[in-house]
Amino acid sequence: DGGITQSPKYLFRKEGQNVTLSCEQNLNHDAMYWYRQDPGQGLRLIYYSQIVNDFQKGDIAEGYSVSREKKESFPLTVTSAQKNPTAFYLCASRPQWPSGNTIYFGEGSWLTVV
């Protein structure tokens, strides 16, 4: 059953704590992405990775970090430096250009700071 799995679905974080959101895909896609959605807004790109051991900052990378040690995995760490971390986080993947143009998403993770 191929797809993108994000965990946990819901996560609560105390202020000052780092948390890591997991993203695993078994689609054999090369590129992976992290987006953030806030209420009433579109999806904004946090980080992306086109290949293992390489990743690039997106539009709103401050306060976040990622790693890409395996093709299947692209975890996102929300650090204490992120001033407003409460949001819905979406992981996505895509075959490497020119194999495909469509990005596919996981089910998302809700992060709430308490």
Partner 1 sequence: DQQVKQNSPSLSVQEGRISILNCDYTNSMFDYFLWYKKYPAEGPTFLISISSIKDKNEDGRFTVFLNKSAKHLSLHIVPSQPGDSAVYFCAASGSGSARQLTFGSGTQLTVLP
Residues at the contact surface with partner 1, assessed by CB under 8 A: 4, 6, 31, 33, 35, 40-45, 48, 50, 56, 58, 88, 90, 92, 94, 96-97, 101-108, 110
Q: Is 18 helix (H, G, I), strand (E, B) or coil?
A: coil
Question: In this structure, how many other beta carbons lie within 10 angstroms of the beta carbon of residue 19?
Answer: 19
Residue 51 parent element (H or E): strand 43-51
Q: How many CA atoms lie within 13 A of 17 on its CB side?
A: 12
Question: CB-wise, 59 or 62, nearer to partner 1?
Answer: 59
Minimum CB distance to partner 1, residue 73 (Å): 17
In angstroms, give the least distance from the CB of 82 to partner 1: 20
Q: Which is nearer to partner 1, 50 or 65 (CB)?
A: 50
Nearer residue to partner 1 within complex by CB, 33 or 85: 33
Minimal CA–CA distance to 82: which of 52, 108, 51, 44? 44
**Cβ proximity to partner 1, 85 vs 106, nearer residue:** 106
Nearest approach in angstroms of CB 68 to partner 1 is 14
On whether the CB atoms of residues 4 and 104 are closer than 8 A, the answer is yes
